[in-house]
Amino acid sequence: MEKLVKYLVLLVFLAALAYGGYAGAWAWRSIAAEYPMEYRENAIMFTSSLQSEGQNPYSLELRPVYVNLFGQGYYWVTYPLTRWLGNSYQILRMVSVVFELASCGMLIWGLRIDRCSWWAALSAGALLLGQLGQGLSVTARPDGLGLFLLMSSLVIPYRCGFSPYSLAASAGLSILAYLTKPYCVLGLPLVAIYLFLFNNKLKGFLFGLAGMLGLLVSLVLMNAVYECYLTETIFAQNNGIVRSYAHLARVGGRFVRDNLGLFAILIGAIVCWLRARSSRFSVSCSPNSLKAGLQTRIPKDALRSPLLPVKVPFPAVVLACNCAVMVLIMGVNMGNDVLYYLQLISPFLLWLAFGLANRKSHWQAACLIVLLANIVWLGTRVAPWPKDHSAEWAAADR
């Protein structure tokens, strides 16, 4: 069995690297294109040009010609590069891809924090790159930066044991994430929920309160400096939302189908965990244990104890909450396609699936076989190689 596991580990690792390598080449081909890869890239170019020229990109007098629905964080990051190297598709896309790679690095770091082997961490990172690197997130958009800030706001406090300094860094990163892409602020409530439920109620409450106050102050300051900022990034987008559960079923169903093996591993682990919990509960419900429980007193530090007396992995809490957000809020928005599933669900689904497949158990070989089958399935559904439209754009230019 050990020999079979070693062969399966090697196959999974090589398959994941091949999938991620194709996505990397696909992203590089997209970066090199000297024409827009999607229609909103021109809006990004306009705003970036205003920023590099020292103008206010959200001033009233520039409306409606210069309209940008994304946040300002992306332009703060790209400003030095556009000033020194020029405002171009290539520079802006390179920033997107660099932060996309950094997001994959955050996933690798998270798995290493959980003491996973390098093969599992690198394979998960390569698969995340494979999913993200064949779509819109490699274009001139703030998606890569937003995902990196979201991942950082979660992984850093997790690595530091939710210490005060790491929580302060998490809150700051979440606020910057909100100013990049609003839904990337999820790191703030996710950490607060985990602390309140499974770590320390008082710490979770104070962290959530301080983070919300900091976010409100930042929005007041942004509105004072950029007069049309809130109108374009919040109110205009909210007013344009069209909800459809058929859209949720179509896009969400496609995502589940493409990652069915990962979900199968996770569901199997949940079933085993519930069975173990039920057996422990039956033991704890004996008359002697109930009598002892009634005689116990409420601890003095009840505010500093977790709300729930169970231990749940941090990435599992994040995944469950993000799935709820997608099903109830973001997934029903017809303007949101599979990219949002790849950003909010894929990193944590891969984190849990590879963490489970890394464990030495009777089920490890089965988990690896399922992982390998899922990677092969994804490999059959890769995006076609980007076409070269230089001639068409040159004709349009003439």
**pLDDT, tens digit, for every residue of 112-123?**
999 999 999 999
First to last CA, the chain: 66
pTM of the prediction? 0.92
Distance CA 21, CA 25 (A): 6
Read off the pLDDT band of 300 (50, 70, 90).
low
Question: Per the structure block, which two tokens stand in for 355?
Answer: 């963490």
Burial class for 161, CB neighbours closer than 10 Å (0-12, 13-18, 19+): exposed
Distance CA 149, CA 171 (A): 11
Mean pLDDT check: name the lowest of 35-44, 89-98, 124-133, 297-306. Answer: 297-306
SS3 88: coil
- Per-residue pLDDT of 138-169, as tens digits, reads 999 999 999 999 999 999 999 999 999 999 99
Burial class for 377, CB neighbours closer than 10 Å (0-12, 13-18, 19+): middle
Share of the chain above pLDDT 90, in %: 67
pLDDT at position 367 is 94
- Per-residue pLDDT of 54-97, as tens digits, reads 888 888 888 888 888 888 999 999 999 999 999 999 999 999 99
Q: Calculate the alpha carbon distances from 228 to 51, 66, 219, 236, 395 in Å.
A: 15, 11, 12, 10, 37
pLDDT at position 136 is 86
DSSP code for 305: S
Q: Is the pLDDT of residue 259 over 50?
A: yes
DSSP code for 138: G
- Per-residue pLDDT of 197-238, as tens digits, reads 999 999 999 999 999 999 999 999 998 999 888 888 888 888
pLDDT at position 289 is 47
Cβ(159)–Cβ(109) below 8 Å: yes
Nearest to 71 by CA among 213, 230, 189, 227: 230
Cβ(269)–Cβ(356) below 8 Å: yes
Nearest to 210 by CA among 195, 192, 193, 222: 192
Q: Is the pLDDT of residue 290 over 80?
A: no
